Amino acid sequence: MSAMESKDENCFFISMVISIGLIFIAIVRVIYVIYQTGKPLRPKSPKPMSTLIVLGSGGHTAEMINVLSTLQKDRFMPRFYIAAATDNMSLQKARVLEDSLVDTNGGKVIPAKFMQIYRSREVGQSYITSIGTTLIAIAHALWLMIKIRPQVILCNGPGTCVPLCVIAFLFKVIGIRWSSIFYVESIARVKRLSLSGLLLYKLHIADQFYVQWPQLQRKYPRALYVGCLM
């Protein structure tokens, strides 16, 4: 065996060891993040926590507004509202809510920010063309998450929450930002989870997963039953 062949074999062996080591570290990190997922927030955080609120068309926004009415507003701020680019009504409702908070507190509220995100797929769009729009939506979601880097994410079912939550989970693994994800399944889901909820539940992405019907909690034991929030 020539010296050149021996050197190539050594380089290959070293590369394999490094690759296996990196894969092992990545797996351990993912397991650690999943293990830590679900741990409660510190009860007395010294500072407010930046909060990302994902809105959706239909009843999703109405339910989320109802959930927000129960929060300690001074603890969850600044607040960032995100809705699909084709959904204007949801952001209008969020602005009405924030304006009411300003009036109630005499203007002593950190102004909320309102953003839009591209949809992965519009209703009726073909699956072939949705490949391109999905890639654009993921890139846009990544840009928004880098810009916001929220400490808390609140969502309740719209499909736009999935890429945002997945990116937040990856940020945890990489160590960029630890975001606590709270998912509240829609009250319309009585027997089965929505696709968004099922993905976040099965992949252990949501830190706290809430359902509004007891039969759902029995079917998905890691979920927390909170009763009807509407």
Calpha distance 45→82 (Å, rounded): 25
What are the pLDDT digits (tens) for 205-221?
A: 999 999 999 999 999 99
What are the pLDDT digits (tens) for 75-90?
A: 898 999 999 988 889 9
Comparing 37 with 55, the larger pLDDT belongs to 55
* pLDDT category of residue 44 using cuts at 50, 70 and 90: low
**Residue matched to tokens 């509220």:** 109
Strands annotated E in 118-196:
152-155, 180-184
Query: Do 31 and 49 fall into the same domain?
Result: no
Write out the residue range of the structural domain in which residue 5 sits: 1-36
* pLDDT category of residue 28 using cuts at 50, 70 and 90: confident
Strands annotated E in the chain:
51-54, 79-84, 113-117, 152-155, 180-184, 208-211, 224-225
**Residue matched to tokens 């808390």:** 152
Residue 230 belongs to some domain of the structure = no
Query: Do 25 and 105 fall into the same domain?
Result: no
**Residue matched to tokens 């998450």:** 145
Query: Do 85 and 143 fall into the same domain?
Result: yes
Query: Do 177 and 213 fall into the same domain?
Result: yes
Query: Cα torsion for 190, 191, 195, 198, to the nearest 10°?
Result: 110
Which pLDDT score, from 0 to 100, does residue 212 have?
Answer: 93
Query: Do 87 and 8 fall into the same domain?
Result: no
Question: Exposed, middle or buried by CB within 10 Å (0-12, 13-18, 19+), for 226?
Answer: middle
What is the pTM assigned to this prediction? 0.83
Backbone angles phi, psi at 138, to 5 degrees: -65, -45
Structural domains in the chain (count): 2
